[in-house]
Amino acid sequence: MKKMILLVATLLIAAGGYAESKDSLKVENVMGIDNPDRVTITESNNRMKVEIDGKKDNPDFRYVREVEISPSDVSVTKERNSDWDFNIPFRKHTEEQKRKRNAFVVKDFKIGLSTVQGAPDNMDVTMGSSWEITTPSFGWEYYPWKTRTSLSIGVACSWRNYRMTGKQRFIKDPGNDMSIGAYPEGADIQFSRIKVFSWSFPVMFTHQTKNNFSFSFGPIINFNTHASMKTRYKLNGEKFKLTDDNIHQTPVTVDIQASFGFNTLGFYVKYSPCKVLDTTYGPEFSALSVGVVIF
């Protein structure tokens, strides 16, 4: 930043006019700009154009000056400065890095609990036993307005579990239909669950305050590539495990997520209006999840 300020000062000295002698340079006009958001310098033949966008406490500030110089008047060392950054968790960012317009990001590791909405009365999913885990998303973040508001898109992996521990279980019949039914009489019940694996693509609108509070909202597109059913119980001293990997999940679903956070820890709520299973083959229900999000 010091180099940038010196560079701008040098150019503005040249722009303001000067009287030159062998041993001195008289400055007639100097302007100081604290913490500019962007400085653009354009050279063409013997002319130089300086554009300054934003300054301390005034992001809408703009200054443009075009001057005529000769190669011997001002010596400028050019520095190549990219508008990209790579944001990784727990790394402290400098002021210059915070002003980047684009960034590759790794964020939003989520652990939560799932429940169902609009399910049949006998489908008693236990939220305390139905876990959801989402890996950190890898993606791209863009700051279109030179503020702390960003748009992002990424990709992550997600596992969702819908688990019943009561007297009902998931049943897959020989005709490929899923239903909810009772355990055999006298069974020692453990659990019956459905698990769905997804490739998830979050598209988020995020705003962060100067105090590191943040709010995010947006859709998550899920490609549900695998789902399975598992039921465990004991009967007459014998253990039973019933599994099936072809339960006809809905191939593509969309979630709506909102999250609130401070620094690297937050809370999220996610609702999916889409049906978890293809209702041609199984019971009709949608999903709701709540949990914590880290970095």
Return d(Cα 287, Cα 293) in angstroms, integer: 18
Q: For the chain, first and last CA: distance in Å? A: 28
Question: Does the pLDDT at position 25 exceed 50?
Answer: no
Position 32 scores a pLDDT of 76
Residues 132-167 have pLDDT tens digits of 999 999 999 999 987 889 999 999 999 999 999 999
Question: Does the pLDDT at position 19 exceed 60?
Answer: no
Residues 236-292 have pLDDT tens digits of 999 999 999 999 999 999 999 999 999 999 999 999 999 999 999 999 999 999 999
How confident is the prediction for the chain on average, in pLDDT?
84
**The two structure tokens encoding residue 219:** 């859709």
Q: b/e map of 199-225 (b: 16 or more CB within 10 Å)?
A: ebbbebebebeeeeebebebebbbebe
Spatial CA neighbour of 111 closest among 92, 98, 83, 130: 130
Other residues' Cβ atoms within 10 Å of the Cβ of residue 251: 10
Strand partners, 168: 182
pTM of the model: 0.69
One-letter amino acid identity for 7?
L
Position 290 scores a pLDDT of 98
**The two structure tokens encoding residue 155:** 């990709």
